[in-house]
Amino acid sequence: MKAIVYRDNGGPDVLQLVERDLPAPGPGEVRVRVAVSGVNPTDWQARSGAAGPTRFPEVTPHLDGAGVIDAVGAGVERSRIGQRVWLFLAAAGRPTGTAAEFTVVPAEQAVPLPDQAGFDVGAALGVPALTAHRALTVAEDGPRRLRPGALDGRVVLAAGGAGAVGHAVIQLARWAGATVISTVSGPEKARLATAAGAHHVVNYRAGDPAAEIRAIAPDGVDIVAEVALGANLALDLAVLRTRGTISTYANDGGRPVELNVVQHMVLNARLQFLVLYTAGPRARAAAAEDVAAAVRDGALPVGEEHGLPLVRFPLERTADAHRAVERGVVGKVLVDVTA
């Protein structure tokens, strides 16, 4: 089979297209013929060594993907062979990601993909949708699970709603019944966040975004899904309701965070940090189940018309796919693996 591998950390040029033997699924695992592989910032961060040196002699990158199960290991129902699936955390703690014609994952990390959902949808789910789910389910007053109605009456602020995670936050929050506000940096991203389903968009670089958000949500925002805590903490606190939650999944821009302890205390604010790798199996399993339900409801479409342009590369150009993610291309970067 064709596979992309790297042996040492470094720039995108360390990625090589090679031929490898088909991997065999072990007990509790499935083998998947990958149709589309999804690329996330964590993939180039792992490749570059920014997230620490690689632990394996050879790594096939990428956590996310979608395809068809073609073999199962001991203990897995043979009826799963032929099932269309989306994958999450494929390369987490293992050297076998989705940038290959076949990959092997624990059976529970291959989630059934309904016939009406394309492989592009499936490959775009993993990291963004599971992160968004966690961001929306860590508030003191709940909910812990998402379904239609779970966020009725709540106001969610999706920072950077034209980003891959921001897009998933908008879609899942909207599916669950929230009023969704998204911040964006300009009109093109406003168009995308609106297409994703945001009820309101606010340009965080112009005017008085806090006043605009307060005008939309006079009682304050219940949950902020934050991509740039250092840049946005003052704004978040200015719009957060009492006992509200700031769910922080990144600090893009890298601005240092200085906490005004009294301000957080007075608000009884919850500042929740999150990263998928250490969220724990229960939270990840719950997220995968709820995201699968949202997919069945058709709530997580992708593509420009749904607020997430697709930027595609063939497998042999995976290095260019990494370059695109690294420079912050707008939309979802996908690698076409098999036809």
Ligand X SMILES: NC(=O)c1ccc[n+]([C@@H]2O[C@H](COP(=O)([O-])OP(=O)(O)OC[C@H]3O[C@@H](n4cnc5c(N)ncnc54)[C@H](OP(=O)(O)O)[C@@H]3O)[C@@H](O)[C@H]2O)c1
C-beta separation of 299 from 172 below 8 A? yes
**Closest separation in Å from C-beta 13 to ligand X:** 21
CB-neighbour burial class of residue 50 (10 A; exposed 0-12, middle 13-18, buried 19+): exposed
**Closest separation in Å from C-beta 288 to ligand X:** 14
What six digits make up the tokens of 37?
């592989």
- In the bound state with ligand X, the residue whose beta carbon lies nearer, of 83 and 109, is 109
Gap between the terminal Cα atoms of the chain: 14
Tell me which residues in 193-212 interact with ligand X (CB under 6 A): 204
Residue 29: φ, ψ to 5°: -115, 160
Among 5, 172, 276, 315, binds ligand X (CB under 6 A): 276
- In the bound state with ligand X, the residue whose beta carbon lies nearer, of 78 and 205, is 205
Establish if 228 lies at the interface with ligand X (CB under 6 A): yes
Among 10, 49, 253, 298, binds ligand X (CB under 6 A): 253
Which of these segments, 15-23, 35-43, 92-100, 109-117, binds ligand X (CB under 6 A)? 35-43
Establish if 96 lies at the interface with ligand X (CB under 6 A): no
Which of these segments, 12-20, 83-91, 182-190, 297-305, binds ligand X (CB under 6 A)? 182-190
Q: If binding means CB under 6 A, how many residues of this protein chain bind ligand X?
A: 28
Binding mask 141-180 for ligand X (x = CB under 6 A): ------------------xx-xxxxx--------------
DSSP E strand stretches across the chain: 2-5, 16-19, 29-39, 64-72, 84-87, 102-106, 110-112, 155-158, 179-184, 200-203, 221-226, 240-248, 270-273, 310-314, 332-336
**Beta-ladder partners of 271:** 246
**Closest separation in Å from C-beta 322 to ligand X:** 13
Find where tokens 């987490």 sit.
92
- In the bound state with ligand X, the residue whose beta carbon lies nearer, of 73 and 303, is 303
| Nearest by Cα to 131 from 26, 283, 235 | 283
How far apart are the C-alpha atoms of 316 and 336, rounded to whole Å? 9
Establish if 12 lies at the interface with ligand X (CB under 6 A): no
Establish if 232 lies at the interface with ligand X (CB under 6 A): yes
Helix extents (H) in the chain: 41-48, 119-135, 164-175, 187-196, 209-216, 229-239, 261-267, 281-296, 318-326
C-beta separation of 74 from 28 below 8 A? yes
Query: Cβ-closest residue to ligand X?
Result: 163
Among 90, 151, 225, 274, binds ligand X (CB under 6 A): 274
- In the bound state with ligand X, the residue whose beta carbon lies nearer, of 72 and 286, is 286
Which of these segments, 16-24, 30-38, 72-80, 245-253, binds ligand X (CB under 6 A)? 245-253
Find where tokens 């975004």 sit.
209
Residue 62: φ, ψ to 5°: 95, 125
Chain residues that interact with ligand X, rule: CB under 6 A: 40-42, 127, 131, 159-160, 162-166, 183, 185, 189, 204, 227-228, 231-232, 249-250, 252-253, 274-276, 328
